[in-house]
Amino acid sequence: MANKLRDLVAHGNLASVMSAHNPLSARLAELAGFDGVWASGFELSAAYGVPDASLLSFTQHLDMTRAIVERISAPVIADLDTGYGNAVNVLHVVGAYSRAGSPR
C-alpha cells in the first residue's frame, strides 16, 4: 500500500489524504475517493476529548491505527506522535506500526 502513495508522488502527482480517528471516518474518506488515510494523533486525541499533548498511550494509538488498517484498503499514514521516548522507543514504535500495516 505504501508504494501506491509513493508512486503517485514520484510521478509528480499530488496524493489526497484525509485524516481519520477511527475505522468509520477512515472508511468514509476511502469512499470519498481519497488516495489514502492519515491515522491522526490529533484526531484521536480529539475523539478522546483530550488535548493533542501526548496524553494518549502508544497502545491507544496503535490499536486504533490497526483497526483502521484492517477495515480499509487504502494506504494508511500513521501519526507516530512523539515516538514515545528515546531512540530505542522510536525503533520499537516504528516496528510495531509497520507490523500493524503488514498484510495478514
* Burial class of residue 12 in the structure, from the number of CB atoms within 10 Å of its CB (0-12 exposed, 13-18 middle, 19+ buried): exposed
User: Measured between alpha carbons, how far is 45 from 82 in angstroms, rounded to an integer?
Assistant: 13
Catalytic residue among 7, 35, 52, 81: 52
63 is catalytic: no
Catalytically active residues, by annotation: 52
